[in-house]
Chain A
């Protein structure tokens, strides 16, 4: 049985709910025309009757038709709740807008007022009000509206505050639009989702409270058949006619359920949901941009060895893809040129990572690594660097998975495991112990709820069990302090006692590195480890990583968009663009003699690149953006942004030995000037650049699509 998507189910539920509420409203407004009986018409011969043809829902203790009474009571049961919503919004929203607009002073006053309202026992206040003024449903619900304005105020204040800081709202104000108009035109419409959700939820609360009051006898006076009153009357006959409880209760419950479902539907379909949202947007992305794969792309695979796309139906299974990889003769030749070569510590072949039922984010990436070396993965955001790195640890985000290729890990000739084939349990044994991760944002990478000491000693006790029994707490703490010392933290004792929010960014990243070292891993995957840090701290962290590599013989994969970082730390580099490696080799050769136009462009965009490197123009930006994964072509994916692109670039481009590949199409000026490292690198370009050639003009795209990737 296939399970329908939760979003779809919810949408159906939302429609049904809206239909029910509309039916209810119409039914109550037109009750006079269709009701089969007078609201108070008694029929002594048929009291407490079960449902029948003449009385669809039966009759009550006086022989009155239940259906008629429910319909007649619907407005008095539901209307006051609507009034409560209107009052709550009427007070809460303007107050929130004013507080957001006029800043601290007004905000303080109104927030205290709201807090006070929230702290009052609302049911008791309502009852006290009933005691004081008597039973007037509309008046009572007005008071409820006042009480509910406090939560409304709170919700909208935080939203209004964040909305007001948005650029377009600011722009409107600078342009002299009056504050009332700014609110009406920009702030309120942006709040529409919240207003709809809150309205539905408050309405549900209002209906329940109104019914509760009526049940206790504080509702509309007796002849008027409110639902709460009907249920109270029915409860008198619980022994002799329990059925009487059912119709009114179900109608009341359905109304409240409908309001709540409607709120959930609006929330989820407007993108405020939780789990549903992730899937929905992934699905939306996939449908909006169907993978454009030219017919026969697979046939051309003989050349495009490493180029593999997901089958158009998105159902490409791993097995099928692996089969393709096996038949791919071209891959091996390219692999031989990979940094590190095959058979090192790490041997990634033809790695493909895809969104479930969507496009591939990494396509046919291959690289290798020797122990004790540092490999840099570099490229703009959206090029698949991080996905490649996370795939090594089996830590791809929800909805993204490895769909092809292999990741060989281990010291040859010892046992080499394919990490993509491991079970979750087997992977867990590798994580931390053999491969560890340092992530981009140290401040959120640590658990805010636990002290640094706890977070360090936990894995230490797990990883470093001496002779079968776990490391003692005290011992683990000593090791933790030692590790902190090794990552350059001086007052380890204090840091162990601290919580993450008490640390600076640089300090937190040091702690994260210490955490990654707890299992003495062979390979460290560092995903943009310095991006979130200040420039001076960046340098410190980089030098720390460098010293760790030297002292411990660690291998490191460093992911960065910053060629400066790569130049500083890495031995080898793989430049990634749009899910592929476009150029690789030793750092010295790639950075000093870039072959791929993209590498050159990256160098040009980097402010930290040393003088003397062949940079076409300092601090130039690369025109255009990385195309979205669904738009990747089988030809050169950089072609749309490349000044050198020709029609030939539309055909699949294989990875070839750098500085060789160009010779066939060597119509460009000059032949390869003696480059010592020529044999070690690879490039994916049919007319690679030459070093020694006068700097290329800035690549100006001849088919530039502004905002091609959204």
Chain B
């Protein structure tokens, strides 16, 4: 187990390094230079060149990368070309927003999806078919479109929830939850559909396992067979998909945050790209990768805890 963890950790670090190289190269291959932005649109080529020199853009790529990396490991991602803000602290202040949405949406998707998937697998018949069709439709709907429809129905027509905006938990826990409600519901439509499908498939195959027949042959009560033995057996793929979803939510929050005007990482990403704020783009990529990598590590641990084969290896 320990060597397994060590290997996963080494791979995680490698992934982050790879992402940093990719984003670094992308920024440098883009053809635009930081000087063009800091010097302003009316600047002469000489002024731009001077700015680039000041920002160290002329140094060898490897040297630039290493100094960026040296800063990054100490939590220094440089400053924004646009407003001069510290990128690290800006992203850290946005992290709670994205994390809140991702965590709530993952939890809600997990609870709803497992409940629906188990019900479909166990009950079968019409319910099963309704779930299959319904989840198939739900996971095919574009999230931003669902989001706008929800805004129209719940915020504009019914006035139940605020359409956009974000209130920090510290400011008002009640409004914090209200401001998260619509984005979380939007993401849960797709999320719960995917989890329900995974759970349903897993449960159906689990209930056909031979060890389940052994339990039946011992007169085991059905609830115990379903919810302790079969669900546990079906659990691993469901947990994996939940992890993948969490990652997708973190990365995919870009669209949702734009839609609901939430000041999260995704908004920072699209703003940085829209304004060619090169160090900020690099920063977002690296933070997003770290989140993904940490999620994967947690996922490995959870899967290990679920599966005795991994745990006792």
Contact = CB atoms under 8 A, between A and B. Distances in A.
A429 interface: yes
Nearest to A459: B218
B292 A431 contact: no
B144 interface: yes
A124 B284 contact: yes
B270 interface: yes
Given A132-B30, A447-B233, A242 B152 contact: yes
Contacts of A512: 214
A217 B254 CA distance: 12
B237 interface: no
A275 interface: yes
B214 A446 contact: yes
Given A124-B251, A204-B140, A436 B218 contact: yes
A257 interface: yes
A124 B219 contact: no
Contacts of A441: 210
A19 interface: no
A122 interface: yes
Contact of B142 (A256, A260, A446): A256
Contact of B204 (A121, A245, A257, A274): A274
B191 to A, nearest CB: 14
Given A238-B156, A445-B211, A431 B219 contact: yes
Contacts of B285: 121, 124-125, 128
A451 B311 CA distance: 12
Contact of A257 (B30, B137, B281, B309): B137
Interface string B276-313: 10100100110011011100100000000011110010
A295 interface: no
Interface stretch (B19-27, B43-51, B89-97, B168-176): B19-27
Category for how many chain B residues contact A: 35 or more
A404 to B, nearest CB: 23
B269 A437 contact: no
Given A439-B213, A444-B210, A445-B214, A249 B142 contact: yes
Contact of A449 (B156, B220, B276, B308): B308
B192 to A, nearest CB: 16
A131 B211 contact: no
Given A3-B126, A120-B289, A444-B210, A501 B309 contact: yes
B182 interface: no
Interface stretch (A94-102, A158-166, A186-194, A208-216): A208-216
A305 B274 CA distance: 86
B85 interface: no
Contacts of A430: 219
Nearest to B231: A449
A34 interface: no
B152 A131 contact: no
A458 interface: yes
Interface in B184-232: 201, 204-205, 208-211, 213-221, 224, 229, 232
Given A116-B15, A249-B142, A261 B136 contact: yes
Contacts of A260: 136, 139-140
B129 interface: yes
Contacts of B312: 499, 501-502
Contact of A501 (B126, B128, B210, B308): B308
A350 B12 CA distance: 65
A6 interface: yes
A371 to B, nearest CB: 20
Contacts of B205: 274
Given A239-B156, A249-B145, A437-B217, A131 B273 contact: yes
A253 interface: yes
B23 A128 contact: yes
Interface string A382-416: 00000000000101001000000000000000000
A245 B229 contact: no
B272 interface: yes
Interface in A202-255: 204, 208, 211-212, 215-218, 228, 231, 234-235, 238-239, 242, 245, 249, 252-253
B219 A257 contact: no
Interface string B246-268: 01101110110011000000000
A533 to B, nearest CB: 16
A264 interface: yes
B141 interface: yes
Given A127-B270, A275-B124, A518-B218, A122 B129 contact: no
A429 B145 contact: no
A45 interface: no
Given A128-B23, A216-B270, A393-B217, A444 B211 contact: yes
Given A121-B251, A132-B30, A432 B217 contact: yes
Interface in A115-140: 115-116, 119-125, 127-133
A431 B216 contact: yes
Contact of B288 (A121, A231, A275, A447): A121
A285 interface: no
A296 B2 CA distance: 72
Contact of B214 (A129, A275, A437): A437
A361 B276 CA distance: 72
B174 to A, nearest CB: 26
26 contacts: A119-B296, A120-B15, A121-B292, A122-B251, A124-B251, A124-B284, A125-B19, A127-B270, A127-B273, A127-B284, A131-B276, A216-B270, A235-B148, A238-B156, A256-B140, A260-B139, A275-B204, A431-B218, A439-B210, A445-B214, A447-B211, A449-B233, A458-B220, A459-B219, A499-B308, A512-B214
Given A215-B255, A242-B152, A252-B145, 13 more contacts: A119-B15, A119-B292, A119-B296, A128-B273, A212-B142, A217-B274, A253-B140, A256-B140, A259-B140, A395-B213, A448-B309, A450-B229, A459-B219
